[in-house]
Structure 1
Amino acid sequence: MKLMYYFLVNRTSGKGRSVKVWNEIEAILKEKNVEYQVIITETKDEGLAFINNLLTLNQDISGIIALGGDGTIHEIMNRLIGTNVPFSVIPTGSGNDYARARGISKDYVKEIEKLLQNDKKKIDLLEIGDRHCMTVVGIGFDAKVADEANKMKWKKWFGGLAYLMTILKVLITYKPSSIKLTLNNEERVFEKVWLIAIANHAYYGGGIKICPNALSDDGKLDICIIHSLPKWRLLFILANVFKGKHVTMKGVDYLQVESIQVDSDDPLFVTADGEMMGQTPTSVSVKKEAFHVML
């Protein structure tokens, strides 16, 4: 069967870097006589419309590859669930946490060589309401930080640094909450909870290694709960989060389950792949081998 690859290039991702990278990738594809089609989009809706058309036409699709960041990936993944179409990314966004967790580098020459080998596998996803998440669901402090960071006009210029700067801003006024968790079928109450991270991959927030043991093919959710700490102690833990060295510290619970229900005294922000999902109460479960990816 003839291989046919489809590329989605988000023009606005990475300060316009996507288009520059695409121009060089296209030259490689032509040199190798690879069959491909490309759409350069201004909005997420344009990319989704392109995918919808492909699926409607029942085309032979060897793979869909996005040039963009985690927001682009989140939307495409939610459209491709339930199909056998394999997906990958060339990271050109500000965060690139999905790519980081899967070992996909910014060396696009190397990554294209890997993609053209046409190797595939299935990975788990997080299911949250009627949406799915590739990387991490954040609840509480981290979700508030993500919400504030997404509002910043200069986020794309600073990447992970923007997230760190926003942490300090939100910390000034944020108050921890009492939360009841139903972990599988067991109820537990945690006091003064700062954040809950529910992970399918290790990273979020532009390189923060919140759940260092998270794997997308183990059928488990990795849960990191940071609670019962004063602000100064929280800062110390957050300083260690970037390298994943926080999980054994006092005030951190690290668990693995297959489902979690989160109920809080006051509504808390919820994000998935850095995108706003609403507020608590919320439920998250693992959807095993739900998505096809290219290696």
Structure 2
Amino acid sequence: MYYFLVNRTSGKGRSVKIWNEIEEILKEKKVSYQVIITETKEEGLAFLHDLIHSDKNISGIVALGGDGTIHEIMNQLIGTTVPFSVIPTGSGNDYARARGISKDYVKEIEKLLQNDQKKIDLLEIGDRHCMTVVGIGFDAKVADEANRMKWKKWFGGLAYILTIFKVLLTYKPSSVKLTINHEERLFEKVWLIAIANHAYYGGGIKICPNASSDDGKLDLCIIHSLPKWRLLFILANVFEGKHVSMNGVDYLQVESIQVDSDEPLFVTADGEMMGQTPTSISVKKSAFHVIS
């Protein structure tokens, strides 16, 4: 039995329209399925909680939604062997982008029904887990501002780009102490820190181009010690991942990191607000089952 969770609000309501077309494909192929179309996050999570504690014959949980929907579902499924997949209908879709899941839902349903499974790594941050990227500092502030804007759902990734310029007007870099694999390092004038399990965040920004979810490592990108105009030049190259060799960018692979700053910095995971520094992030190897 496949269970489909459809976020009615995702993608300006597009997810329900797509689900109606997917349902016809499933009926034609005589696939056993159930669907819940949710109005709120809490409704979907309550259904999922009851499901994974009652049904032992789950072929897969499939979300129609964006990265926020995926983040919540993944944190419910962690610790189980229930496989997960997604049909991307959100504004960012960075998890789907990194895993090569297209918006061609006809093709993706064909792949889904083959039910090839694998385990992937996750980021562990406090008592939560993250699929894609933990952002700290400037990028986290941008994500927070973008999430507050009512017009985000209409502009998708463009909302993130527009918000960059708004935040840049007033944002000031900070001094940060990073404990990387138990070794302390100090960085001055830090603009942003990205810790990645997948390459993308912010609706297609390739912040950690070498990140892989099956290597047991976290990719760490630190942008620091730059004037504001130079930061803009680097950000212009981030979209294609060409920034990692530039002056003012440190790019490392680590297994754990502790972040302490001279003043609290915003922290996001999968684009969702996680709080502020200090914070610790580590890799949880082969922790999550996905339909690949």
Q: Cα RMSD (Å) of the superposition?
A: 0.5
Structure 2 gaps of 5+ residues are: none
Give distance in 2, aligned partners of 1:59 and 1:259: 34
2:167 corresponds to which of 170, 173, 178: 170
The answer for the alignment partner of 1:107 in structure 2 is 104
1:121 corresponds to which of 114, 118, 134: 118
The answer for the alignment partner of 1:190 in structure 2 is 187
How far is the alpha carbon of 1:59 from its aligned partner? 3.2
Consecutive aligned runs of 4 or more in structure 1 exceeding 6 Å deviation: none
3-state DSSP of counterpart to 1:33: coil
1:238 corresponds to which of 235, 240, 243: 235
The answer for the alignment partner of 1:205 in structure 2 is 202
How far is the alpha carbon of 1:88 from its aligned partner? 0.5
Give distance in 2, aligned partners of 1:134 and 1:113: 24
TM-score (norm 1): 0.98
Aligned residue-pair number: 292
Matched, 1:220 2:195: no
TM-score (norm 2): 0.99
The answer for the alignment partner of 1:283 in structure 2 is 280
Structure 1 gaps of 5+ residues are: none
Within 5 A, what are the aligned runs for 1:45-124? 45-124=42-121
How far is the alpha carbon of 1:50 from its aligned partner? 1.1
1:23 corresponds to which of 20, 23, 31: 20
Letter in 2 for 1:146: A
Q: % of aligned pairs identical?
A: 87
Give distance in 2, aligned partners of 1:110 and 1:52: 29
How far is the alpha carbon of 1:53 from its aligned partner? 1.3
Letter in 1 for 2:78: I
3-state DSSP of counterpart to 1:27: helix
Q: Deviations over 1:58-90 (max 9, x none)?
A: 331000000000000000000000000000000
The answer for the alignment partner of 1:134 in structure 2 is 131
Give distance in 2, aligned partners of 1:147 and 1:71: 13
Q: Which stretch of structure 1 is more off in the superposition, 47-56 or 80-89?
A: 47-56
How far is the alpha carbon of 1:102 from its aligned partner? 0.2
Give distance in 1, aligned partners of 2:227 and 2:102: 37
